[in-house]
């Protein structure tokens, strides 16, 4: 989709049948679609869909049904109130932006509760850094870093677990974790899928190319947008075939995971293509390197400005979940933006 409308303008257009609401949400809608192939890109007004060839029109109608369909809420995520915020809690000594800052039980617990009280819907806890160049840690070390926090927090607030390892997932689920967030796209540990199938837990499929240790060593794509779209489509079809029946699945294109600046910007700029897969979209844009690469000499360590700018853009493209470090600052900016839109 393209030509998104937001807020009051969107409501007026939807009510006059001039635009199509995203996932039943009248406050964000669109009046054009884009048909993208590996050789062309064509923009079409929604009232011209009937002019397409029979086979293309059939596929577009199938995709539009997925795009229009209201999403079922789960794990404290509300897909009408866009965006949901996943607060980041790294309990590691070496994460790219805040390594060592919260890796004690007391500091981690305090920070998690602060993010939740600021308005985060769910807190994503990780005990292994997956920054570019990082090395794998063993199960014992990873679990030791997160065990106390998970035991304590899961009784108080919704949490997701950022891990690639099936044994860590199994332990976390037993303590009440609400979502599994696997940055490897379920490819790192072959037992992962069996855990997800057994416990029927919601999960994130993230795209990444390579491993954290080598993923930024000259990543290449034929077409990053369509290559990643095809990855999700194949993965979802496979999961359905092996018996994962629920639709509590989130897709994440994996900004910075085996992507250079050109790839990241193309993915963010065209993020709405992933709505036609029919699942909520999560984007981890917070403090990422692409902000530094664009900002150049104006870059700061926290990169809050770039995070806010890209987050508002993603929100206006209908992205349902943003994975964020600076929860209070981001939500403040969104509240101000929405108020301005409402009164414009």
Give the pLDDT of residue 103.
Answer: 58
Give the pLDDT of residue 136.
Answer: 84
What pTM was estimated for this model as a whole? 0.94
pLDDT tens for 219-241 read 999 999 999 999 999 999 999 99
Give the pLDDT of residue 97.
Answer: 53
pLDDT tens for 96-139 read 454 456 657 788 899 999 999 999 999 999 999 887 777 888 99
The chain-wide mean pLDDT, for the chain, equals 93
Q: Nearest to residue 89, comparing CAs of 67, 69, 104? A: 104
| 208 cis-preceded (ω within 30 degrees of 0) | no
Give the pLDDT of residue 31.
Answer: 96
Give the pLDDT of residue 99.
Answer: 47
Q: Name the residues annotated as catalytic.
A: 288, 323
CB 128 within 8 A of CB 137: yes
Residues with pLDDT less than 50, the chain: 95-96, 98-99
Give the pLDDT of residue 213.
Answer: 75
Give the pLDDT of residue 242.
Answer: 94
Secondary structure (H, E, C), 160-220: EEECCCHHHHHHHHHCCCCEEEECCCCCCCCCHHHHHHHHCCCEEEECCCCCCCCCCCCCC
Give the pLDDT of residue 343.
Answer: 77
Give the pLDDT of residue 132.
Answer: 75
- What residue spans define the domains of the chain? 2-68, 84-342
Give the pLDDT of residue 93.
Answer: 78
Class of domain 84-342: alpha beta
Give the pLDDT of residue 268.
Answer: 98
Buried b (16+ CB within 10 A) or exposed e, 80-99: eebbbbbbbbbbbeebbbbe
Supply angle C-alpha 273, 278, 280, rounded to 5. Answer: 85
Sheet containing strand 321-324, edge to edge, reads 249-252, 203-206, 179-182, 159-162, 122-126, 84-90, 321-324, 282-283
CB 210 within 8 A of CB 186: no
């Amino acid at each position: 989709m393209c030509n998104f409308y937001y807020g009051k303008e969107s409501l007026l257009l939807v009510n006059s049948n001039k635009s199509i609401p995203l996932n039943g949400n009248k406050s964000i809608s669109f009046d054009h679609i884009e048909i993208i192939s590996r050789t062309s890109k064509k923009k079409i007004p929604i009232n011209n869909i009937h002019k397409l060839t029979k086979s293309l029109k059939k596929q577009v109608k199938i995709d539009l049904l997925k795009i229009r369909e209201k999403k079922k809420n789960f794990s404290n995520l509300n897909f009408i109130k866009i965006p949901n915020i996943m607060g980041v809690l790294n309990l590691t000594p070496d994460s790219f932006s805040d390594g060592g800052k919260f890796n004690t039980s007391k500091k981690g617990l305090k920070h998690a509760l602060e993010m939740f009280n600021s308005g985060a819907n769910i807190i994503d806890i990780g005990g292994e850094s997956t920054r570019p160049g990082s090395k794998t840690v063993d199960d014992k070390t990873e679990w030791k870093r997160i065990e106390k926090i998970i035991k304590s927090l899961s009784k108080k607030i919704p949490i997701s677990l950022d891990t690639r390892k099936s044994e860590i997932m199994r332990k976390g689920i037993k303590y009440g974790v609400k979502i599994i967030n696997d940055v490897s796209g379920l490819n790192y540990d072959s037992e992962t899928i069996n855990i997800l199938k057994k416990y029927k837990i919601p999960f994130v499929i993230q795209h990444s190319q390579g491993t954290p240790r080598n993923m930024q060593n000259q990543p290449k794509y034929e077409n990053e947008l369509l290559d990643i779209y095809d990855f999700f489509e194949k993965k979802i079809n496979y999961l359905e075939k092996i018996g994962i029946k629920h639709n509590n699945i989130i897709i994440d294109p994996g900004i910075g995971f085996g992507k250079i600046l050109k790839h990241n910007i193309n993915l963010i700029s065209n993020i709405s293509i992933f709505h036609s897969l029919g699942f909520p979209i999560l984007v981890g844009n917070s403090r990422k390197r692409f902000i530094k690469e664009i900002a150049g000499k104006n870059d700061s360590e926290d990169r809050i400005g770039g995070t806010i700018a890209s987050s508002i853009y993603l929100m206006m493209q209908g992205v349902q979940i943003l994975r964020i470090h600076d929860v209070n600052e981001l939500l403040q900016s969104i509240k101000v933006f929405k108020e301005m839109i409402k009164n414009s």
